[in-house]
């Protein structure tokens, strides 16, 4: 039945899908927003990073959140006066990483709060920031990714997609940081691992640094 809802969403019959969520097998373990997100990003980028297609698609998707995107910008602006004197953007991110990146990944993007953990924030200089991001994709999310790739005829493997969805969602945050910082800024991963879990579930562990360019 879960495959049916993906086909319904691909045909844009959202009104039916919204009403029939439980009957079609969508539960709190995977929101319908996650499936819609996969379809949008899959159609626009095929989940591939070539020519920045994936990060551009994610940036476009986040900016579509007409209420939440400005809200995240306001969160950043509210903290910036405490750090602006010495342009300590990394210290802002370190001190408020939970608020900022939880909002980014759970509200702007549809990653589950229960599946996400943020660890070991570091700011070795005023313009360098590092954080460990972990996301546990549950069985239904993995199956949804597989089905969307199948329906959209996207080549590749699921392991690569689950990694890229997380790290490029973080990378897509750079323009908003630049808007506050008023200098070029980028996020880059220094290490990424994938742990296979029981029942086909997967956990991505990514060490991602942000720095002035």
pTM for the complete prediction?
Answer: 0.86
Half-sphere CA count of 18, side-chain side, radius 13 A: 4
Contact between residue 22 and residue 2 where contact means Cβ atoms under 8 Å apart: no
At residue 23 the predicted structure's pLDDT band, cuts being 50, 70 and 90, is very low
Nearest alpha carbon to residue 78 among 64, 66, 102, 96: 96
Q: What total of structural domains would you count in the chain? A: 1
DSSP 106: I
Grouping H, G, I as helix, E, B as strand and the rest as coil, residue 212 is strand
Count the helices and strands in the chain (H runs, E runs): 10, 4
What does the pLDDT read at residue 3? 58
Cα dist from 27 to 18, 48, 106, whole Å: 12, 28, 16
pLDDT, residue 65, reads: 81
Closest CA to 94 of 59, 132, 62, 58: 132
Phi-psi region of 87 (alpha: psi -120 to 50; beta: other; left: phi over 0): left
Write out pLDDT tens, residues 131-190.
Answer: 999 999 999 999 999 999 999 999 999 999 999 999 999 999 999 999 999 999 999 999
Minimum mean pLDDT range among 29-33, 107-111, 138-142 = 29-33
Q: Which candidate, 171, 179, 155, 163, places its Cα nearest to that of 209?
A: 171
| Residue-range definition of the domain harbouring residue 38 | 2-212
Residue pair 189/207 in contact (Cβ under 8 Å)? The answer is yes
């Amino acid at each position: 039945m879960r495959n049916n809802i993906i086909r319904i969403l691909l045909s844009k019959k959202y009104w039916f899908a919204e009403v029939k969520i439980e009957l079609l097998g969508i539960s709190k373990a995977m929101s319908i927003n996650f499936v819609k997100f996969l379809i949008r990003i899959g159609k626009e980028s095929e989940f591939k990073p070539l020519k920045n297609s994936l990060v551009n698609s994610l940036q476009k998707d986040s900016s579509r959140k007409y209420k939440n995107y400005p809200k995240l910008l306001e969160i950043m602006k509210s903290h910036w006066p405490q750090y602006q004197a010495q342009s300590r953007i990394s210290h802002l991110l370190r001190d408020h990483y939970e608020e900022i990146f939880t909002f980014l990944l759970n509200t702007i993007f549809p990653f589950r709060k229960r599946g996400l953990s943020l660890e070991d924030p570091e700011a070795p200089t005023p313009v360098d920031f590092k954080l460990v991001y972990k996301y546990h994709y549950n069985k239904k999310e993995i199956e949804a990714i597989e089905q969307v790739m199948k329906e959209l005829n996207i080549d590749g493997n699921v392991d690569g997609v689950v990694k890229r969805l997380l790290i490029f969602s973080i990378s897509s945050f750079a323009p908003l940081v630049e808007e506050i910082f008023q200098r070029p800024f980028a996020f880059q991963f220094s290490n990424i691992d994938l742990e296979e879990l029981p029942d086909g579930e997967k956990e991505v562990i990514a060490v991602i640094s942000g720095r002035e360019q």
